[in-house]
């Protein structure tokens, strides 16, 4: 592989990998999961990376949801630049609610896409298929999801017969194996020399269900750790971060701490005064009932903004509420895709729209765990190899999960 290849994106230069390089987005991996797993002795490889390589806690992009952060990681840029600020948004022109299911809203090339076009053998593997379509933007290489692995074709995904390669059929989308399959596929792609640069994006199925240190969580991290050990044994530089953390959102008795914001505002200001959009919404609602810690709101009458902001600031569970200009400035969000105001829930709360819209029966008595707010911004930032002096210096500044490709490709010795 010629090492002179490099690409530039948003003011940064990314070198082609000198060694096989694997960047992992461990979905919903709050740093506490790793702290507990290491304390319980189930992740020796992560412990070794932290001792011999580099480990820090970085910040995810706001809102702390899956799509905005995966796109920030692969572009090295905030949502204001790449354009993806939720899984779900309201199209102001049509008044329709739109699911982000492909790359049509994406405003930036990606680092893996550019390197693949420069001749680097590149693979992007995701757990959920909706993310695969966005992450595969501009990629000339292998790109598939474990959810749809059995349907992969050379024309669409750059590879077929994944059951033959990985040794098992596509996993149940509601299982820990949805993530482990991504890891196993990555290992096989390295072993067979099909890829030299890999981006592996997992699912947060386990993290929505289980708190750090619970046996099910530790079991998952032990299984993940065994795969990290294999990647390292294959000579890869391994870099791990997350799209967001995960917090318990229930009262001591198990009742979810939910503010139904659209109900509350409309009760006070009149029917249809506000429309609230929950950008966590995705087809995997069984994880969280579409309840997260960040919502966008659209007012019927713009002149009510000041009064509504004051009212919302006093509602239970609200950590921050701000108009569009302030939200975009503070969180680096694209203004043309932002609501009239945004509300952010505190660490142990979520905000929904209308009570009737959220089905919490799927929780089946389990405590609600979710994300989206400032409380879920801290994420791990771990590399298998030590940093160069320049990147050691960089690491002393505020690290973001979107710095991970720079560190993995440019920053290790
Ligand atoms: Zn996620």
pLDDT in tens, 12-46: 999 999 999 999 999 999 999 999 999 999 999 99
How far is ligand 1, taken at its centre, from the CA of residue 301, in Å?
Answer: 34
Mean pLDDT over 276-297 rounds to: 82
How far is ligand 1, taken at its centre, from the CA of residue 7, in Å?
Answer: 28
| 318-364: pLDDT as tens digits | 999 999 999 999 999 999 999 999 999 999 999 999 998 888 887 77
Q: Give the max Cα distance, the chain.
A: 65
How far is ligand 1, taken at its centre, from the CA of residue 97, in Å?
Answer: 20
Residue boundaries of the structural domains of the chain: 6-246+373-411, 258-370
How far is ligand 1, taken at its centre, from the CA of residue 6, in Å?
Answer: 29
Q: Which pLDDT score, from 0 to 100, does residue 280 have?
A: 87
How far is ligand 1, taken at its centre, from the CA of residue 273, in Å?
Answer: 31
Name the fold adopted by 258-370. Gyrase A; domain 2 (3.30.1360)
Count the Cβ atoms, other than its own, within 10 Å of residue 252.
Answer: 6
Does 1 score more than 70 pLDDT? no
Global confidence as pTM: 0.96
Q: 96-99 and 88-91 as β-strands: parallel, antiparallel, unpaired?
A: antiparallel
Task: Decide if domain 6-246+373-411 falls under CATH 3.40.720.10.
Answer: yes
Percent of the residues in the chain that have a pLDDT greater than 90, as a whole number: 87
Choose among 133, 80, 108, 142: nearest CA to 337. 80
How far is ligand 1, taken at its centre, from the CA of residue 2, in Å?
Answer: 35
How far is ligand 1, taken at its centre, from the CA of residue 310, in Å?
Answer: 31
Does 284 score more than 80 pLDDT? no
Sign of the C-alpha dihedral, residues 35, 41, 185, 167? negative
Give Cβ neighbours of residue 27 (< 8 Å, ≥ 6 apart): 66, 127, 179, 201, 202, 203, 204, 207, 242, 243, 244
How far is ligand 1, taken at its centre, from the CA of residue 29, in Å?
Answer: 9
- Residue 63 preceded by cis peptide, ω within 30: yes
């Amino acid at each position: 592989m010629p090492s002179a290849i490099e690409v530039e994106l948003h003011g940064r230069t990314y070198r082609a990998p000198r060694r096989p390089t694997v960047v992992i987005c461990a979905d919903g991996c709050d740093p506490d999961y790793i702290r507990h797993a290491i304390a319980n002795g189930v992740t020796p490889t992560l412990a070794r990376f932290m001792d011999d390589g580099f480990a820090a806690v970085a910040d995810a992009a706001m809102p702390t949801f899956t799509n905005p952060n995966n796109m920030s990681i692969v572009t090295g840029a905030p949502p204001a630049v790449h354009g993806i600020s939720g899984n779900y948004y309201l199209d102001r022109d049509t008044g329709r609610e739109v699911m982000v299911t492909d790359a049509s809203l994406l405003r930036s090339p990606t680092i893996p896409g550019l390197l693949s076009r420069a001749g680097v053998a590149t693979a992007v593997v995701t757990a959920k298929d909706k993310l695969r379509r966005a992450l595969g933007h501009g990629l000339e290489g292998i790109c598939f999801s474990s959810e749809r692995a059995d349907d992969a074709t050379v024309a669409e995904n750059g590879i077929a017969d994944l059951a033959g390669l990985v040794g098992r059929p596509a996993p149940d989308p509601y299982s820990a194996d949805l993530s482990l399959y991504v890891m196993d596929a990555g290992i096989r792609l390295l072993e067979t020399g099909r890829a030299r640069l890999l981006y592996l994006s997992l699912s947060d199925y386990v993290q929505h269900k289980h708190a750090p240190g619970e046996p099910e969580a530790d079991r998952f991290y032990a299984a993940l750790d065994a795969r990290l050990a294999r990647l390292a044994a294959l000579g890869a530089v391994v870099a791990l971060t997350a799209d967001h953390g995960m917090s318990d959102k229930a009262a001591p008795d198990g009742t979810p701490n939910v503010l139904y914001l659209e109900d509350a505002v409309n009760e006070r200001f009149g029917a249809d005064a506000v429309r609230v959009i929950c950008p966590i919404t995705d087809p995997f609602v069984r994880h969280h009932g579409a309840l997260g810690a960040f919502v966008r709101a659209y007012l019927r009458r713009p002149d009510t903004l000041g009064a509504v902001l004051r009212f919302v600031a006093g509602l239970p569970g609200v950590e921050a509420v701000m108009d569009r200009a302030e939200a975009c400035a503070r969180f680096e969000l694209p203004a043309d895709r932002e609501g009239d105001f945004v509300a952010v829930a505190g660490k142990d709360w979520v905000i929904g729209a209308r009570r009737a819209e959220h089905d919490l029966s799927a929780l089946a008595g389990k405590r609600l765990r979710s994300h989206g707010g400032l409380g879920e911004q801290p994420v791990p930032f771990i590399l298998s190899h030590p940093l160069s002096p320049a990147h050691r210096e960089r690491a002393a500044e505020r690290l973001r999960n979107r710095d991970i490709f720079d560190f993995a490709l440019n920053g290790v010795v």
